[in-house]
Amino acid sequence: MKILVINAGSSSMKYQLIDMTDESTLAKGNCERIGIDGHFKHTTSDGRSCEYDVQMNNHTEAFMQIKNALTDEKVGVIKELSEVSAIGHRIVQGGSIFKESCLVTDKVIEDIESLIPLAPLHNAAHVQGIRACIDVFGKEVPEVVVFDTAFHSTMPETAYMYAVPYEYYEKYAVRRYGFHGTSHRYVSARCAELMGKDIKDLKIITCHLGNGSSITAIDGGKVVDTSMGLTPLDGIMMGTRTGCLDPSVVTFIMEKSGLTPSEMDTLLNKKSGFLGISGISSDDRDVCAAAAEGNKRAQLAIDMLEYHILKYIGSYVAVLGGVDAIVFTAGIGENQSSHRENVCHKLGYIGVEIDDEVNAKAIRGVEGKISTENSKVDVFVIPTNEEIVIARDTMALVTK
Ligand code: AMP
């Protein structure tokens, strides 16, 4: 069975065609700048590729590019589109409606649309992606939706409620939802596998550290708390996002600088974090390079990030009442060994001990344990794979 995994954004659409017989990726690519000037990239697992500028006025036109590339004589990996058995879509916000993945129906599309106010950019784009997919593949190809929020739906009320008047929860569903759930789910399950233990018997803290970052506390396979909130702005400091802050900072800056809610939203989401503190870049590599050359604000950004990670891990150890394993994943978590080293060296008080040499080598796709045999807590680097979770859920639902 071949499954097409789709991640539709407002002006981009990433795809991956996965052969479920061995879970290998046959081809992947990206339609960029949809509705603007358009750029298309496609690569196959055996090293063939194409890349060109092409106007794509909407998601349906983007799907036509994907379809052509997948079946193309030179860069194609299938003879006919009918070889695609099912399609899995990543959906950012499932709200309180979707607690697990499900098959796409008209009602499901309506429900995802009803959640647009909670994730305006993402969910609107996902709905466009699903509709375009139906246009191109037809209704006979089953489609499945997999939600970033679903894995976090086990959080208890005490963790997901905000202490604002209760009516805002009732009227507008204001609460913590959490994001990156598919990634946290993949790496926690993989961590249990690597430990050779049942996840039901484990307390795990997963650190997804990328351009967007979140940390999750998982007890017996169920999320009990996570750092992102109503939106992906809360939690630890990120590439351009603030992470948690005193809410009064928002009203104070708005009043002092005369910013509108939308301008303040841009400041919090796009101008803060690594970029805002360092003044150099949102990218961890650029900021680390500047710090190595003596840039003090770049160093401050790094110190703040590591402090935030440490603080969340510490608080989640308290929430879980102990911890068996800590996992690092995503762009920074998988590649930036110095952050892992600095954080883990400060966790000696809970028995964490890592092997600095092993840690330094665990980069660029390496999966493995970086803690020593003496460590009371296992520490892992596990490259995330959200696409495979989407493909597995899709296969499970369409073969049920
Ligand atoms: P992501 O959002 O998961 O793609 O992660 C993006 C972040 O990961 C950026 O801040 C990058 O600087 C960082 N990153 C990605 N690849 C590497 C690498 N090979 N070495 C160091 N940092 C990396």
Distance 336 CA to ligand 1 centre (A): 8
Distances (CA, A) of 203 to 62, 318, 395: 43, 11, 29
Distance 210 CA to ligand 1 centre (A): 6
Span 231-241, average pLDDT: 96
Tell me what the pLDDT averaged over the chain comes to. 97
Regarding the beta carbon of 283 and ligand 1, being less than 6 Å apart is answered yes
Pocket of ligand 1, candidates 180, 284, 361, 386: which has the most ligand atoms within 8 Å of its Cβ, to mutate? 284
pLDDT tens, position by position, 159-211 = 999 999 999 999 999 999 999 999 999 999 999 999 999 999 999 999 999 99
DSSP 340-379: HHHHHHTTGGGT--B-HHHHHH--TT--EE-B-TT-SSEE
Counting from 1 in the atom list of ligand 1, the atom nearest the Cα of 287 is 12
Please give the pLDDT value at position 10: 86
Confidence band (pLDDT; 50, 70, 90) for 120? confident
Confidence band (pLDDT; 50, 70, 90) for 392? very high
pTM for this structure?
0.96
Please give the pLDDT value at position 274: 97
- Look at residue 256 and give its three-state secondary structure: helix
Counting from 1 in the atom list of ligand 1, the atom nearest the Cα of 363 is 19
Residue 400 has pLDDT above 90, yes or no: no
pLDDT tens, position by position, 250-301 = 999 999 999 999 999 999 999 999 999 999 999 999 999 999 999 999 999 9
User: Alpha-carbon distance 193 to 191, whole Å?
Assistant: 5
> Atom 16 (ligand 1): residue with closest C-alpha?
331
Please give the pLDDT value at position 61: 94
Q: What is the DSSP letter of 308?
A: H
Query: CB–CB of 234/228 below 8 Å?
Result: yes
Span 316-320, average pLDDT: 98
Structure tokens at 373: 């045999």
Which among 142, 6, 125 is positioned nearest to 66, based on CA atoms? Answer: 6
303 Cβ neighbours under 8 A, 6+ residues apart: none
List active site positions.
Answer: 148
Please give the pLDDT value at position 344: 98
Domains of the chain, first to last:
2-147 (3.30.420.40), 197-386 (3.30.420.40)
pLDDT tens, position by position, 15-47 = 999 999 999 999 999 999 999 999 999 999 999
User: Which residue's structure tokens are 């500047």?
Assistant: 290
Confidence band (pLDDT; 50, 70, 90) for 342? very high
User: Alpha-carbon distance 310 to 344, whole Å?
Assistant: 8
% of the chain surpassing 90 pLDDT: 97
Regarding the beta carbon of 337 and ligand 1, being less than 6 Å apart is answered no
pLDDT tens, position by position, 77-111 = 999 999 999 999 999 999 999 999 999 999 999 99
pLDDT tens, position by position, 327-340 = 999 999 999 999 99
Please give the pLDDT value at position 119: 87
Which among 242, 199, 240 is positioned nearest to 221, based on CA atoms? Answer: 199
Please give the pLDDT value at position 338: 98
Please give the pLDDT value at position 377: 98
Distance 211 CA to ligand 1 centre (A): 7
pLDDT tens, position by position, 90-99 = 999 999 999 9
